Amino acid sequence: MNGDVKTKVGFLGLGVMGLPMSENVIRKSGCEVYGYDVVSEKLEAFSKAGGHAAASAEEVYTTCDIIMQMLPTHAIIINSVEQAVKYGKKGNIIIDLSSAAPHIILELYPKVKEAGMYFLDSPVSGGNPKAKDGTLAIMTGGDKDIFEKVKPLLACMGEPVYTGGPGSGDVTKLVNNTIGGAYLAAIAEGYAFAAKAGIDLQTTFEATRCGFAGGPLYDNKVPKIISRDYEPGARIAVHRKDILNAKSYAHKLGIDLPVTDVTLLIMDWMNDNGYIDIDQAGMVKYFEDKMDVTVGKK
């Protein structure tokens, strides 16, 4: 697919994640890339990166062979897929890069197939930094032959892995985010504990980052906690949506997720106290409140 300028690619949703992802597709794929977002500033940035700014989502559906979407809510995801089916042509491939509940994908998949099109659920993980670097984890469910066809396109944004049939990509993302959520809560609790004990946070970070607790998420979030930088690279609101999706799907499976329940309790507190749109590092605020301590300094 690389270098195939005849393939027209559409990108819907040019937000914190979508814009840098689309820019990587523009730079690396060799395809004509059309984009649309309701925010005009995002469209301007997309155009400056070399993309074709569409006048409407409908233009993307009617023009493009492959339509990728990075959208915030189930209602918008469903509407976009239904519109892609309505206005698109047979053979089109729709790739949902958003984080959706698996049952939503399973409901949409046969509708897309009936229209003679193809549908992949392909959520991503890594936040804004990895979206910019083009190193996202990409988990893709659907027809394997279609995955292989678009794999070079997905590889422009990160490391695509085929996870199985429809819905499996989003189940895999839920596994990723339940683990990630628990890890984030543990990091926040640990640094609130350190602050309460009066030890130096930067020294704590340097002493532990190469140990068992360390890793990419640790390296990304702990400096933000120490500097009280809650500018969102990945918003708690988005992560909480995945936690709620995981809880819903677990209910369908007839199981409990007790550690995830704790993560949700913390995120609910963040929501109730007006912190839901800050970075995940801001989960430390919950522990500041419970331990009566200030963690880090600007």
Task: Look at residues 74, 58, 48 and name the one whose alpha carbon lies nearest to residue 10.
Answer: 58
Task: Look at residues 268, 267, 246, 271 and name the one whose alpha carbon lies nearest to residue 257.
Answer: 246
Question: What are the Cα distances from residue 241, in Å, to 175, 187, 247?
Answer: 13, 20, 10
Known catalytic membership, residue 173: yes
Task: Look at residues 84, 103, 106 and name the one whose alpha carbon lies nearest to residue 95.
Answer: 84
Catalytic residue among 6, 86, 90, 173: 173
CA distance 122 to 124: 7
Instruction: Tell the residue number behind the tokens 């890594």, with chain if given.
Output: 126
CA distance 89 to 132: 31
CA distance 243 to 195: 28
Instruction: Tell the residue number behind the tokens 């990075």, with chain if given.
Output: 70
168 C-beta neighbours (distance < 10 Å), count: 18
What is the set of active-site residues? 173
